[in-house]
Amino acid sequence: MNTKSNTESMGENGEHREGKRIERAEIKMLGPISYIAPHEGLWTGSISRKAHQSERVTGALQEIPHYFVMADTDAPERCIDGRPKVKKGARGHLQEMHLGPQTPGGTPAMTLAYRIMNAGTLPEGKKFCDDLKDTIGLCKKHGISFGGHIDDHNHGFNCGCGAIDKIPEIFKKILEPEFKESASVYLKAILGERFDADVMQSLIGRADELNAQNGNYLEQTADGDYLFRKKVIETLETEATNVQPVEELIGDHREIALVVNLVPGSTFDRDAFTKAQGSEVQAFNYDFWVSEDFANKLFKSEKKRTEFLTIRAMLGIATAMVLTDGSMELILRTKK
């Protein structure tokens, strides 16, 4: 594993982002993500850093650490998507730049994690968006912001968020025989001492159990389309009160890296980074620290917290495998 480590710093004049500065962090450049673990063939997506000149990629990778700022935990949860957003929201609402934490798929993906944990207790007839409403209710109860996104060229039943539109494929990825061995490498890096192979195996079994009910749970039509993809956006907006929870992102994917951010209270200023790069390259960022925060608020049991963090990490890895070709630089950002 080719690992490069350095300590990030913000520009003294706030050149990267006006506002609050954050504590310094340790940065580890771990190399192309598919090279770190066995079974490179698991990475079947089309998003690739190979589409960009190596000189451009090298320079941009060195700049990524400088674009971390204080997260606004009162702002809607954002997806890890590296694309910038339009000035107006999904339904014409003006959007200010309040940067909530980033997780794959936003709140709908948290819903999926919660349901996999409890696959054996799925009531007959209950749908994914029913679970999403329940999750939003939990978020409101515990003071957790919720959110998701569309994009400017979604069509048909798709909402434009790959982590949501590709849920059926993400399920299949987790159930591939090679997934456990490969994903274990990443889980150990993300979870540290919390990693438990038995917990991971149990969750794979529960994902298999839920996958058997996917057609009904995800509301698949006779034509093979999935109604949940559009309904998640309607649900998020219906359940919102004074905040527009749905971003509209624009353009094509140009990500060159995936950051796993373990520093509490911080997040990636996606739009500022993309603008500084002339919109030529972008970066995924997963604020995994917020999953720890959610786990502490939602569960009293340490066992349940470990399960929640494990399935959140598993879903994040499977999502990256479905959406990218594995050439993304994996960057681990930890407290110094």
Distance CA 248, CA 242 (A): 18
Q: What is the DSSP string of 210-247?
A: HHTTHHHHTTB-TTS-BTHHHHHHHHHHHH-SSS--EE
- Which pLDDT value is given to residue 18? 44
pTM for the whole structure: 0.90
pLDDT at 97: 58
Q: Which band of pLDDT confidence, cut at 50, 70 and 90, is reported for residue 15?
A: very low
Give the separation between CA 140 and CA 191, rounded to whole angstroms. 27
Q: Using CB atoms within 10 A of its CB, is residue 56 exposed (0-12), middle (13-18) or buried (19+)?
A: middle
pLDDT at 242: 62
pLDDT for 28 = 96
Given a contact cutoff of 8 angstroms between Cβ atoms, the answer to whether 32 and 21 are in contact is no
Of the candidate ranges 87-91, 132-136, 323-327, the one whose mean pLDDT is the lowest: 87-91
- Can you read off the two tokens belonging to residue 231? 């309904």
- 14: tokens are 């706030």
> Could you report the per-residue pLDDT of 122-156, keeping only the tens digit for each?
999 999 999 999 999 999 999 999 999 888 888 78
DSSP state of 105: T
Q: Bridge partners of 329?
A: 32, 257
| Consecutive H or E run containing 333 | strand 329-335
Rounded Cα distance between 43 and 250, Å, is 24
pLDDT for 247? 87
Q: How confident is the model at residue 4 (pLDDT cuts 50, 70, 90)?
A: low
Domain that holds residue 134: 4-335
Q: What DSSP element (H or E) covers 310?
A: helix 302-323
CA neighbor of 113 nearest in space, from 299, 333, 300:
299
- For all residues of the chain together, what is the average pLDDT? 89
Express each pLDDT in 292-319 by its tens digit.
999 999 999 999 999 999 999 999 999 9
Number of domains forming the structure of the chain:
1
**Backbone torsion region of residue 179, taken as left when φ is above 0, otherwise alpha when ψ lies between -120 and 50, otherwise beta:** alpha
Q: Given this model, what pLDDT does residue 16 score?
A: 47
pLDDT for 90 equals: 44
